[in-house]
């Protein structure tokens, strides 16, 4: 028996997904268009034995999330552009210190205060490179209310598995949209637990994670007496060591490779009508909703158009784009920014297909009609009937 559908907002779905994933700590600061996540969790977390704190700013919010996670609790924060900018320092700390946590960025128009109530995809590069120094992150992009729920659970699983901050790149449209959804039953979706290292505290410093065996860190206040630092540290002992270049190199490469080595397992891409496509639309998040409508329309016209929708934006789905480039003559990249991901697509396509970028930065969703026009231009021979 399936549960009855419920009418849920994207932001509410993120909050419920976090609870289903076992998150029991939220720290945040009010900011449009993410505030409903904080409001929902302020109400819901105490009911399930969790804690909600409204912090003094976004820096404090992500810092408290790091602290709660280090104490052994799954934790998240939610924000939007200006707050996401403020969080970058501590996202770097979480990356360096390998702290599992989830950051939800409900994207709005920027830079600065920008367009607080309007959607944007302007933070996709900031999600990857916003903090200083070599590091890697995982970023997921929901394009529906149901995905706001399921990808939040997935984000927690990935953050625990790879001991890394995971960013959910929602936007004002997906976050504020309401859809009737049937939420998965408890137990239907995998929920990763943290676990503790299978060794005596005295032996803890002698065992070391490798790329295929990323060990959990014991919580603060345990017999393991861990040291956590944002300095470069020796991966074997955990002790800071800023003198030895080989120690810094080992850590720096490990922090990158622990994500990229597992790229195939992490990356999820949804393809639609790609089997025989001649033109592909590469679209993510809310824009993918318009792109899906265009693919249906084009197929009804007999035009071979397909959709490649990255669900994982970082690490970049290079393999899927390479595969697409070998097949189609044109890739259209509509996005609510100017060329941020199309550069990345172009790099992966490597000249094997034409890449057409199309950007909007006016806070308005890219409509199916706009993408239709882009598609039409790529079929010189096609007889379009309905336009």
Partner 1 sequence: MSALVDEQKLEAAPHDAECKPPRIKPHTTSEITPWLRTPKTIWCPGCSNGTITRALIDAILGLQLDPEKVVVVAGIGCSGRIAQYLEYSTVHTAHGRALAVATGVKTADPSLHVIVAMGDGDCSAIGGNHFIHAARRNIDVTALVFNNSIYGMTGGQMSPTTHMGDKSTTSVRGNVEAAFDLSELAHAAGATYVARGTAWAYRQLVDVIAGGISHTGFSFVETMAVCPVYYGRFNLTADPAEFLKSQKEHAVPVGKFEDESRLRERYPVGVLHHSERAEFVASLQAMGDKAREAAHG
Task: State yes or no: residue 244 binds partner 1 (CB under 8 A).
Answer: no
Q: Are 226 and 69 in contact (CB under 8 A)?
A: no
Place of tokens 């210190």: 97
Quote the least distance from Cβ 103 to partner 1, whole Å.
14
Kindly write down the DSSP assignment for every residue of 254-286, as one continuous string.
HHHHHHHTTHHHH--EEEES-TT-SEEEE--TH
Task: State yes or no: residue 69 binds partner 1 (CB under 8 A).
Answer: yes
Which residue's CB is nearer to partner 1, number 159 or number 342? 159
Task: State yes or no: residue 226 binds partner 1 (CB under 8 A).
Answer: yes
Quote the least distance from Cβ 129 to partner 1, whole Å.
18
* One of 70, 76, 183, 325 touching partner 1 (CB under 8 A): 70
* One of 51, 352, 354, 364 touching partner 1 (CB under 8 A): 51
Task: State yes or no: residue 198 binds partner 1 (CB under 8 A).
Answer: no
Which residue's CB is nearer to partner 1, number 66 or number 341? 66
Task: State yes or no: residue 240 binds partner 1 (CB under 8 A).
Answer: yes
Place of tokens 């009508």: 273
Kindly write down the DSSP assignment for every residue of 20-77, as one continuous string.
HTT--EEEE---TTTHHHHHHHHHHGGGGT-EEEE-SSHHHHHHHHHHHHHTT--EEE
- What is the spatial distance between Cα 126 and Cα 33, in angstroms, rounded to a whole number? 18
Task: State yes or no: residue 50 binds partner 1 (CB under 8 A).
Answer: yes
Task: State yes or no: residue 228 binds partner 1 (CB under 8 A).
Answer: yes
Neighbours of 370 (CB within 10 A): 17
Which residue's CB is nearer to partner 1, number 96 or number 308? 96
Task: State yes or no: residue 49 binds partner 1 (CB under 8 A).
Answer: yes
Q: Are 340 and 125 in contact (CB under 8 A)?
A: yes
* One of 67, 197, 252, 363 touching partner 1 (CB under 8 A): 67
Task: State yes or no: residue 7 binds partner 1 (CB under 8 A).
Answer: no
Task: State yes or no: residue 231 binds partner 1 (CB under 8 A).
Answer: yes
Of the candidate spans 42-50, 110-118, 167-175, 367-375, the one that interacts with partner 1 by CB under 8 A turns out to be: 42-50
* One of 3, 5, 30, 71 touching partner 1 (CB under 8 A): 71
* 237 CB-contact burial (10 Å; exposed 0-12 / middle 13-18 / buried 19+): middle
Task: State yes or no: residue 84 binds partner 1 (CB under 8 A).
Answer: no
Strand-strand pairing, 165-171 and 138-140: parallel
Count of residues touching partner 1 (by CB under 8 A): 47
* 46 CB-contact burial (10 Å; exposed 0-12 / middle 13-18 / buried 19+): exposed
Neighbours of 67 (CB within 10 A): 16
Of the candidate spans 184-192, 227-235, 275-283, 376-384, the one that interacts with partner 1 by CB under 8 A turns out to be: 227-235
* One of 31, 38, 41, 60 touching partner 1 (CB under 8 A): 60
The footprint of partner 1 on residues 284-323 (CB under 8 A) is: none
Residues in the chain: 387
Task: State yes or no: residue 205 binds partner 1 (CB under 8 A).
Answer: no
**CA nearest to 19, candidates 183, 178, 137, 177:** 183
Task: State yes or no: residue 250 binds partner 1 (CB under 8 A).
Answer: no
Task: State yes or no: residue 19 binds partner 1 (CB under 8 A).
Answer: no
Of the candidate spans 68-76, 117-125, 269-277, 311-319, the one that interacts with partner 1 by CB under 8 A turns out to be: 68-76
Neighbours of 190 (CB within 10 A): 9
Quote the least distance from Cβ 64 to partner 1, whole Å.
3
Of the candidate spans 69-77, 111-119, 297-305, 308-316, the one that interacts with partner 1 by CB under 8 A turns out to be: 69-77
**Beta-carbon contacts of residue 275 (< 8 Å; ≥ 6 apart):** 306
* One of 46, 111, 302, 350 touching partner 1 (CB under 8 A): 46
Neighbours of 243 (CB within 10 A): 8
Backbone torsions φ then ψ of 149, nearest 5 degrees: -75, -55
- What is the spatial distance between Cα 342 and Cα 97, in angstroms, rounded to a whole number? 32
Residues binding partner 1 (CB under 8 A): 24-25, 27, 45-51, 53, 55-57, 59-61, 63-73, 75, 89-90, 93, 219-231, 239-240
């Amino acid at each position: 028996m399936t549960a009855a559908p419920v009418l849920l907002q994207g932001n509410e779905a993120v909050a419920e997904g976090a609870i289903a994933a076992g998150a029991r700590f939220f720290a945040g600061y009010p900011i449009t268009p993410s505030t409903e996540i904080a409001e929902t969790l302020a109400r819901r977390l105490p009911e399930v034995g969790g804690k909600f704190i409204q912090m003094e700013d976004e820096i404090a919010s992500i810092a408290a999330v790091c602290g709660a996670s280090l104490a052994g609790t799954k934790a998240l924060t939610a924000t939007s552009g200006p707050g996401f900018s403020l969080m970058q320092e501590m996202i770097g700390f979480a990356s360096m210190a390998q702290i599992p946590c989830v950051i939800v960025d409900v994207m709005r128009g920027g830079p600065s205060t920008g367009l607080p109530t309007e959607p944007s995809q302007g933070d996709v590069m900031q999600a990857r490179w916003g903090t200083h120094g070599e590091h890697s992150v995982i970023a997921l992009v929901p394009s529906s209310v149901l995905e706001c729920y399921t990808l939040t659970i997935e984000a927690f699983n990935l953050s625990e598995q790879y001991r890394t901050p995971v960013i959910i790149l929602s936007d004002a449209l997906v976050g504020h949209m309401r859809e009737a959804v049937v939420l998965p039953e408890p137990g239907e979706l995998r929920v990763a637990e943290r676990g503790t290292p299978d060794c005596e505290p005295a032996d803890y410093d002698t065992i070391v994670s490798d790329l295929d065996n990323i060990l959990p860190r014991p919580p603060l206040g345990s017999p393991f007496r861990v040291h956590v630092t944002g300095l470069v540290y020796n991966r074997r002992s955990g002790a800071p060591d800023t003198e030895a270049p080989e120690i810094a190199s080992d850590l720096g490469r490990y922090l990158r490779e622990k994500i990229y080595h597992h790229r195939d397992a992490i990356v999820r891409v949804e393809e639609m009508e790609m089997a025989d496509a001649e033109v592909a639309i590469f679209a993510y998040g809310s824009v993918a909703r318009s792109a899906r409508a265009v693919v249906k329309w084009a197929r009804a016209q007999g035009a071979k158009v397909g959709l490649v929708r990255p669900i994982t934006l970082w690490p970049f789905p290079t393999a899927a784009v390479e595969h697409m480039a070998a097949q189609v003559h044109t890739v259209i990249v509509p996005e609510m920014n100017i060329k941020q991901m199309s550069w990345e697509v172009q790099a992966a396509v490597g000249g094997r297909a034409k890449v057409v970028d199309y950007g909007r930065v006016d806070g308005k969703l890219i409509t199916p009609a706009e993408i239709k026009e882009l598609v039409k231009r790529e079929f010189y021979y096609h007889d379009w009937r309905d336009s």
